[in-house]
């Protein structure tokens, strides 16, 4: 059960970060992955920098954040189990 909760929390975190990054791209007027997958032309170097550098860094930030959250959950569950 604990593994399922960890998987669910990790998935939510990835989803939230992806949605936020896509909202930022839309607000600023940058290309997103949907445009690339639809075959739309992306000619601006700023769009490519966003897609290939900034977006993956943002998604990669999920890893330490997820570890931090899940360690906190583990600690709280262990304390609860000892009672």
Sorted by where each begins, the domain ranges of the chain are 2-82
- Residue 82 pLDDT level (bands cut at 50, 70, 90): low
Q: Which long-range contacts (CB under 8 A, 24 or more apart) does 66-72 make?
A: 66/9, 66/10, 66/13, 66/14, 69/9, 69/13, 70/6, 70/9, 70/10
The pTM of the full predicted model, rounded to 2 decimals, is 0.76
Average pLDDT over residues 16-35: 93
Q: How many residues are present in the chain?
A: 83
Q: Reply yes or no on whether the pLDDT at 31 is more than 80.
A: yes
């Amino acid at each position: 059960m604990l593994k399922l909760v960890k998987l669910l929390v990790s998935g939510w975190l990835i989803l939230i970060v992806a949605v936020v990054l896509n909202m930022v791209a839309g607000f600023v007027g940058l290309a997103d992955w949907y445009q690339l997958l639809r075959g739309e032309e992306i000619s601006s170097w700023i769009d490519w920098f966003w897609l290939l550098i900034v977006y993956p860094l943002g998604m990669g930030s999920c890893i330490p954040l997820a570890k931090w959250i899940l360690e906190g959950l583990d600690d709280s569950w262990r304390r609860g189990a000892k009672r």
